[in-house]
Amino acid sequence: MVSDISEHNYDLDESIGSSEENSYNIPPTIFFKNQTLSYFVAEPLRMLYNFSDLKNECLVAGNPRAHYIEGLLQYFQCRKSIKGLDHLRQSADGNYDNGTYIYGILMLCRGNFAEGQYYLDMLSWKTNQDRTTQCLTMLKQSLKAIRVSVKAKYVANTDTMEPLADCNTHAMDSACKDCYYFKKMKEFVDYIRNKKQ
């Protein structure tokens, strides 16, 4: 006797209500918007040359990770800073931590202190400084194969942000409201200054 749920019961329609069927009904815009793209976040150059159709579909759908990748590629690889910043801002506005971090840091380093502070504050650093540490770690991975140079204005603006108050500016693992932004800028500038090209 064959059970009703036997693998040989061809009258049973298993697709009704199954997650497999529902995955085929996802509109393309939602599909591309929700792609994690983690492989490409770690290696953005792969998306520049080999997967541009996927990248473009994700950008059109508003995928914040795709905007992060495109922002890094435009800003650092292609040296198109305005275009790169626009994509990084879209990534940040899409609540992608890594996009929020690098956009905030670049705004600070470029001298737009209010906007840079606003975006870094979105990462809730006053209650959890680990988020920005994780973002820096991911940024280092993302930029590993990309040539990055220190701009004079990055150094000058970092010096401008150095706190006058008694702060331990050399202890990078702790920060207060007087030194946090300076320390994050210094971390970034030191990283790109010491990065092996």
Q: What is the pLDDT of residue 137?
A: 96
Q: What is the pTM of this model?
A: 0.83
Quick one: CA dihedral 45, 100, 107, 137, positive or negative?
negative
Mean pLDDT in the chain? Answer: 87
Q: What is the pLDDT of residue 21?
A: 46
Task: Confirm if 145 and 47 have CB atoms less than 8 A apart.
Answer: no
Q: Percentage of residues in the chain with pLDDT exceeding 90?
A: 71
Q: Predicted confidence band at 49 (pLDDT cuts at 50, 70, 90)?
A: confident
Six token digits for residue 120:
């870094």
97-101, 128-132, 133-137, 185-189, range with the lowest pLDDT: 128-132
Chain Cα centroid distance, residue 155: 23
Six token digits for residue 15:
């697709």
Phi and psi torsions of 90, nearest 5°: -65, -35
Contacts of residue 119, Cβ cutoff 8 Å, sequence gap at least 6: 92, 100, 101, 103, 104, 107
Chain Cα centroid distance, residue 153: 23
Q: What is the pLDDT of residue 171?
A: 56
107-162 per-position pLDDT tens digit: 999 999 999 999 999 999 888 888 999 999 999 999 999 999 999 999 999 999 98
CA atoms within 13 A of residue 145's CA, in its CB half-sphere: 10
User: Is the model's pLDDT at 76 over the cut of 60?
Assistant: yes
Per-domain residue ranges of the chain: 28-149+175-194
Q: What is the pLDDT of residue 10?
A: 44
